[in-house]
Structure 1
Amino acid sequence: MSGTDYSYDEQGQFFPIFILTVVGIVTIPLTYSVLKPSSDPGATAPRIKSDYRPEHADLIDTQRKAQRRKDRRLKRIITVVAGWAIMAFMAYLIVVTARTIPKIWNPYDILGISDSASEREIKSHYRKLSLKFHPDKIRPDPAKNQTLESLNDYYVELTKAYKALTDEEIRNNFIQFGHPDGKQSFSIGIALPKFIITDGNGKYVILVYAALLGVLLPYLVGSWWYGTQRMSKEKVLIESANNLFREYDEAITEGGIISALSTGVEFQQSLKGEKAESGLGKLESRILAEGTASTHAGGLSAKDVMKLEDLDGGVRRKALALLWAYLGRVDLDDPALDQAKLEAAPIAHALNSSFTAIALAFGTTAPILASYLTAQNLMQAIPPGASPLLQLPHFTPAIAKAVEGDSKTHLTLQQYMDLPESYRKRLSVGKGLLTEPQYQTAVKVARQLPRLQVEKGFFKVTGEKFIIPSSLVSMVVKGRFIPPGSENVPEINELDLEDIDPEEDDLDAILGRPKKAGKGQKQPADDKPVQPPLAYAPYFTRDYSPRWHVFLTDSKQGKIAVPPFTFTTFDKPIYDENGKPTFNMQTLKAQFQAPPQAGHYTFVMHLICDSYIGFDTKMEVTLVVEDASKADEFEAEDDISEPDEDSLAGQMHALKTGAPPPAKKKKKPVDEESSEEESNTEEEVDDTSETDTDTDEE
């Protein structure tokens, strides 16, 4: 039975390759994750220009910088740099280290003859070498660094090679085992220098391997797996999502949602130990103090106050109090409390996304709308039901109340900016109100906010004249970004309100995908998605890209009919190079399956921006589903005609009938207005099928 030989990497020619491979397996994927473009839409989005600095701006800037450092993944970058440095050093060692390439034992090479030599030629050649290198005939040459032992070994190799080609038994050994002496010992190569294994160091090597493979690797895999299992799709803890699920109620209001958000387990990480009780009394006294434009400074209703007081002390009660302090922009006169107040908002915003997903699963309209409004409140630091004017710089509840006067309803930003300039300025500037510079800053910001005004909404089936049961319907929304207070807004070009079907072979356009540039071509600038400016939210400590949600509801049942389609980019520029609005007509499309029966279906279409208050659109739209037989009759009349005389079909007709085919009838030209009918047919006398484009802005 053959033994086992261990060959060590004494020359260091394999050890660098081993290290290079192991480090490369980790470094290359990490490099890709660091260098790949950010999936966050706000990474490259423009910003709304303003020099406004809110209260505690230093704390807000500190948290934003900390978040940017976290997003840059500094530890990962350092690991990547170190990994490439190690790989470069190993590559250098591989290049400069002398390598010994093991040779396969070959009797022809040893004898120095060709593989095609005959047995007679082999014997003749061996006889000559034997006479020359026989130990009795040759003497070592010190100039060639020869010794008697090396000469004897060489002669033995010559003899083995000769016998491997002439002796039958030795030749069989060579053919079967690749060596004249038969099966050789099994050799294991260790890519480590011998001194690391020997001299008592072997136990340390075993410990290192045990730590790497038995501890570190299982820990990393387990951490990754546990992290994926404990987080929901909305990036919140599963335990928090379960708590929000238990808090869900079909009659829940915005204040109820804010209370539900305080159940998030994430707050326990930021309010550990003594932080849960520290300053709670002062915090509650500040938010429950009398407010300027509301009963309480924090904007709580009587029901919200009861919910807060019903909670026992601890993390949840303080988290809820911090949220109301943030929404009411209450100065807590304590740096630690003010910092905790600002930290609570992004946590609550993420939790609210999870609550929205839960509400969508239930499908009831009211909680879904409340969750979107809560997202707006958290983004703008405005309590539920407060004035939308608080979104403008320097506006306080007292100033907003003074501007609105005795009105029972709040002014939206667009209503405020639509006021005559002199009258608006008289309402806003003066003692106890805004100064002239503050007023100009507020107006400047208002004229940059991306308010999407819906101009038309309708339904269609691509490439078809009618919508039939169970067909794939496109809900098309046409709108323009018209910031509040915009001047010289151009009239609508009716052609921009049309939706022209793409070519039949343009699969990307039919499926709504962006066109891909050909090989070696650059993506056309017109085809690149356009990002809106980052949300103007001076109190929110994260950069956030606004999202627009379009969905249909059934007002009679109070249920969602078509789930939301979310849009973060648009197909045309929103602002020009000078920052002025372009008023380009934007197109939003959402596809869903038509009802299984023909009829007129009236829905309420909602378009909601999750970052600004008062920019939402609510309008009635009617989906007309025609019977499939009507569509078939139309296609038969439109497509089937007699064959032309010079066509193959015409010649076949002449052979069968003996008469030339009648001339092809020209199709009656279709009026451009009626060809754009889609789902809104004009056959109804009362025009009930036409989409109602009057918007009721919430």
Structure 2
Amino acid sequence: MLQYDNSAFYFFALSTISFYILPSWYSIFKRIISAIRVDDEAVGAVSRTSAEKEKAEQLKKESRAANTLKSQGFLINLGITSVLTLIFIWLLISVSQDGQVNSFDPFSILQIDAGADNKTIKKAYRSLSLKYHPDKNPGDRAAEAMFMMVSKAYEALTDETARENWEKYGNPDGKQSLEVSIGLPSFLLDSKNRNLVLVAYLLFMVVLIPYFVWRYYSDSSKYGEKNVMYDTYSWFHHALNENSIVKALPEVLAGSAEFRKRNIPKTAEQKQAIATLMNAVRSSMQKPKFNHPVCVKGNVLMHAHLLRQTDVLAKMEQEKDDLKYMLRMAPSLIDAMISVCKHQDALQTAINCIELGQYVTQAMWVKDSPLLQIPHFTAEEVSQCEKGATKVSTIKEYCAIPENERKGLSKFSDQQKKDVRDFLKIFPDITVECKVFVDDDEDDQVYENDLVTVQVKITRNNLADGEKAGLTHAPKFPFPKREAFWIILGQLKEGKIISIEKVLNPNKNVVHQIKFMAPPKGTYHFDLVVKSDGYVGIDETQRVEMVTLDSSSLPEYKVHPDDAVLDDEPTLFEEMLNAHIEKDSDDEDEDSDHEDDDQPKSAAAKKKEQLRKARQGADDDDDSDSDAEEVYADK
């Protein structure tokens, strides 16, 4: 007989809780250790130049326990795990005190010693049966269950058959297929706890579970690809078009749904701070198109970063935190902007969005010289480099000058000069090669409707064989960013996009393939654009020509006789279908043989019979044709 069993509940609860707390504590301790022992490369705290030192130290600081372990998710998990651990300890103590899982022991149930005589058994039975009788305990399910157990125990000790079954099988009713107890605490049977149990059940099933399901669904339904909100995608579709220029994109980025709660000025001090920043960056801003406070604040903060207004931001702690939050989200949001441009077939706007990502990474703007990416360079050093007979305007040109002839280093210390040398080794020097072909085509000709492959090979000349590219050198961007390239194939004049993809391969040689169907006969020119995801001034553009020939000039394809024979053979499905039809026909024929000849046939039976005769006639015709051929051969 089943009964509520405290001990069984203890074991069940222990095993269930252990499935959560063991991996949870492992994750917690792992996170604590990783927070104390910060892995510099894992968190991107790499200092290759002294210009990156401050950024690396800040990343280390944010990765330590004081910051990492105070996240909301970690604290909630820590609280739940701690509570469950206390319950686990209590269950262990309970098991140590009452760890015997209920089994049918009549002596224990009757509360007498094993081997007691019949007189003692009867006395214990009378006492307990009166105590737990349902008439004396109306509505008490626990007393009712105990009364039945006492009756079973008495029967097991007084009835010869029942006792034999108990001694042999452990149950007075004989051998059972399965003998278990219910793994629930016995207090659930107590009528005093009925209301409490019902309220707890309703709270859990009707309130908590639906709430968490609704919360999970409502949160997850807000986000699309790349963990960007659907409202943000809708905003980008509304704000971006084929005529969007680079200077207008910070305002579009500022209107993202991710910033709407955070970037609303709440106090007079915040409004004054935004007004102060506006005065500092107004001359370099595009005339605002959207006057919503969220767009205005985000636009101003983003321009303060692009124009390196660190002195003005230094006195605004709240605005610095808001800008940092925007910069954390910026890479994924800019990728979303590019995907929207791809969907709209706005090639030039997509290229502008990529350039925005470059400017955000390097804290530069459209009129700034690419030389500002060199560590410790300011407008003064750039001005020196752009003057004289050996003037340079790009980092590639600056690298080509002998070290002793490079300008802008006269006021630099030895450490700063070393930083410049180290940066020039890190800065990508790429070569782009392009090849157009059709797979498994020996004559290198492209015909309409062929699957064309445009293979792009990027070689990082600044890397040795086997060396991999590291993080983008971006001291002004507060987060680590992997070096990557955008590879675009399209037609700039027409604004048509064939392919646009980000390639994160860090190897010296990067090979990327673009596949598409060849257009109709004619000569086509495509623009291949390779743009860095984080550096300004190393973009490469090539013109790709493709001649498509008329497919009618190809030799006619002839099917091999063996392949033709295979095409005529029935498939497995057809064979099974035919076999099933023949079996049904045979069964119907057998049934008809047993019927009376005078009995009228159904329409289905007549149809099947006609089908059988038609097949038989066809077989006879085949036989007659074969006989005729044999006679003709004999003649």
**1:329 positional shift:** 0.6
Q: Which amino acid aligns with 1:346?
A: R
Q: Percent identity?
A: 18
Conserved 8 A contact 2:5-2:101? no
SS in 1 for 2:475: coil
Residue 258 (structure 2) pairs with residue 266 (structure 1): yes
Structure 1: distance between partners of 2:80 and 2:438: 50
Residue 231 (structure 2) pairs with residue 226 (structure 1): no
Structure 2: distance between partners of 1:542 and 1:280: 24
The structure 2 residue matched to 1:428, chosen from 384, 408, 413, is: 408
Structure 2: distance between partners of 1:403 and 1:144: 107
For residues 104-115 of structure 1, what are the structure 2 equivalents within 5 Å?
none
Structure 2: distance between partners of 1:631 and 1:144: 102
The structure 2 residue matched to 1:8, chosen from 4, 7, 12, is: 4
> Which residue is 1:99 aligned to?
101
- Give the TM-score taking structure 1 as reference length: 0.61
- Give the TM-score taking structure 2 as reference length: 0.66
The structure 2 residue matched to 1:554, chosen from 482, 491, 502, is: 491
1:210-240 CA distance string (max 9 Å, x none): 3333222222222221122112213232223
Residue 280 (structure 2) pairs with residue 286 (structure 1): yes
Q: Which amino acid aligns with 1:286?
A: A
1:655-675 CA distance string (max 9 Å, x none): xxxxxxxxxxxxxxxxxxxxx
Q: Which amino acid aligns with 1:327?
A: L
Residue 528 (structure 2) pairs with residue 605 (structure 1): yes
The structure 1 residue matched to 2:440, chosen from 463, 470, 481, is: 463
Residue 424 (structure 2) pairs with residue 446 (structure 1): yes
Structure 2: distance between partners of 1:25 and 1:143: 42
The structure 1 residue matched to 2:396, chosen from 414, 434, 440, is: 414
**Compared with structure 1, are the counterparts of its residues 265 and 601 closer, same or farther at alpha carbon in structure 2 (3 Å cutoff)?**
same
Conserved 8 A contact 1:8-1:190? yes
> Which residue is 1:157 aligned to?
159
**Compared with structure 1, are the counterparts of its residues 450 and 179 closer, same or farther at alpha carbon in structure 2 (3 Å cutoff)?**
same
Q: Which amino acid aligns with 1:277?
A: K
Structure 1: distance between partners of 2:55 and 2:277: 17
1:83-138 CA distance string (max 9 Å, x none): 995797699689862223469x9xxxxxxxxxxxxxxxxxxxxxxxxxxxxxxxxx
**Compared with structure 1, are the counterparts of its residues 447 and 201 closer, same or farther at alpha carbon in structure 2 (3 Å cutoff)?**
same
Q: Which amino acid aligns with 2:518?
A: P
Conserved 8 A contact 1:390-1:396? yes
Structure 2: distance between partners of 1:211 and 1:271: 37
The structure 1 residue matched to 2:119, chosen from 148, 151, 156, is: 148
**Compared with structure 1, are the counterparts of its residues 94 and 600 closer, same or farther at alpha carbon in structure 2 (3 Å cutoff)?**
farther
> Which residue is 1:254 aligned to?
246
SS in 1 for 2:488: strand
**1:413 positional shift:** 1.4
Bigger relative contact order, structure 1 or 2 (CA pairs below 8 A, ≥6 apart)? 1
1:230-264 CA distance string (max 9 Å, x none): 12213232223222222112211111111211212
**1:26 positional shift:** 9.2
The structure 2 residue matched to 1:544, chosen from 465, 470, 481, is: 481
Structure 2: distance between partners of 1:446 and 1:609: 16
Structure 2: distance between partners of 1:446 and 1:261: 31
Q: Which amino acid aligns with 2:222?
A: R
Conserved 8 A contact 1:59-1:339? no
For residues 655-666 of structure 1, what are the structure 2 equivalents within 5 Å?
none
Structure 2 unmatched ranges of 5 or more? 32-40, 107-111, 123-153, 166-171, 561-635
For residues 188-199 of structure 1, what are the structure 2 equivalents within 5 Å?
191-195=183-187, 198=190
Q: Which amino acid aligns with 2:5?
A: D
Q: Which amino acid aligns with 2:50?
A: D
Conserved 8 A contact 1:284-1:321? yes
**Compared with structure 1, are the counterparts of its residues 154 and 366 closer, same or farther at alpha carbon in structure 2 (3 Å cutoff)?**
closer
Alpha-carbon RMSD across the aligned residues, in angstroms, is 4.6
> Which residue is 1:314 aligned to?
293
Structure 2: distance between partners of 1:406 and 1:91: 83
Structure 1: distance between partners of 2:71 and 2:453: 37
Structure 1: distance between partners of 2:378 and 2:342: 34
Q: Which amino acid aligns with 1:16?
A: F
> Which residue is 2:12 aligned to?
17
Conserved 8 A contact 2:241-2:344? no
**1:567 positional shift:** 1.5
Structure 2: distance between partners of 1:30 and 1:360: 45
SS in 2 for 1:428: coil
Q: Which amino acid aligns with 1:458?
A: K
Structure 2: distance between partners of 1:200 and 1:593: 74
Structure 2: distance between partners of 1:34 and 1:384: 47
Structure 1 unmatched ranges of 5 or more? 37-41, 106-140, 164-177, 181-186, 289-295, 491-525, 575-583, 640-698
> Which residue is 2:373 aligned to?
391
| Bigger mean CA offset, 49-58 vs 210-219 | 49-58
Conserved 8 A contact 1:472-1:591? no
Q: Which has the higher helix share?
A: 2
Structure 1: distance between partners of 2:450 and 2:554: 12
> Which residue is 1:168 aligned to?
none
1:550-600 CA distance string (max 9 Å, x none): 12111341211x221322125xxx4xxxxxxxxx5x142224222243443
Structure 1: distance between partners of 2:116 and 2:163: 24
Structure 1: distance between partners of 2:72 and 2:403: 45
**Compared with structure 1, are the counterparts of its residues 153 and 73 closer, same or farther at alpha carbon in structure 2 (3 Å cutoff)?**
closer
For residues 321-340 of structure 1, what are the structure 2 equivalents within 5 Å?
321-330=300-309, 331-332=311-312, 333-336=314-317, 337-340=319-322
1:422-478 CA distance string (max 9 Å, x none): 221xx21235xx444323212212211344321x21023333324443333332222
